[in-house]
């Protein structure tokens, strides 16, 4: 009486199908993660620009005018942590000010999500989020 040996395990075809499915899932996950990272960095940039705008407006309320430079604002008590920087490159945001106005812009990664139509900003056209004086 001989026992028949049964092959236990997976065939090569089954293994290839499983590996292919795993590869597709990893590719989809990586693309979604990359998009989420870009959007979160853009949200941080918008928040930073709003913080700088709020600092300028607080300065104006206290001193009756915008007569402070961006460099002076970076070391003022209105921005206690200093001037925010870009979350990806670490570079400063584009900033310009005069006695009667200011403009702060951040370059965004997500295409078409900027508001570069602000007339007071002269940092170029493109995918920028800008904030100008409110008063």
pLDDT of 124 reads 58
Quote the pLDDT of residue 75.
Answer: 85
Mean pLDDT by 10 residues, the chain (135 residues): 69 94 95 91 93 91 85 86 89 86 87 66 72 83
| Consecutive H or E run containing 67 | none
The rounded distance, in Å, linking the Cα atoms of 56 and 98 is 11
Order of strands across the sheet that contains 102-107: 94-97, 102-107, 128-132
Domain ranges of the chain: 43-132
> Using CA atoms, how far apart are residues 93 and 107, in angstroms rounded to an integer?
8
pTM above 0.85, yes or no: no
Strands (DSSP E) along 22-122, which ranges?
Answer: 94-97, 102-107
């Amino acid at each position: 009486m001989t026992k028949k040996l049964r092959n236990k395990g997976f065939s090569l075809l089954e293994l290839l199908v499983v590996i292919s499915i795993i590869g597709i899932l990893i590719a989809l996950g990586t693309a979604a993660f990359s998009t989420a990272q870009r959007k979160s960095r853009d949200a941080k940039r918008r928040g930073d620009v709003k913080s700088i705008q709020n600092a300028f407006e607080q300065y104006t309320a206290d001193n009756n005018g915008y007569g402070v430079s961006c460099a002076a604002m970076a070391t003022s008590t209105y921005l206690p942590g200093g001037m925010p920087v870009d979350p990806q490159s670490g570079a400063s945001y584009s900033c310009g000010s005069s006695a009667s106005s200011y403009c702060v812009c951040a370059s965004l990664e997500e295409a078409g999500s900027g508001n570069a139509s602000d007339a007071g900003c002269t940092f170029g056209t493109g995918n920028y989020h800008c904030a100008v004086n409110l008063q």
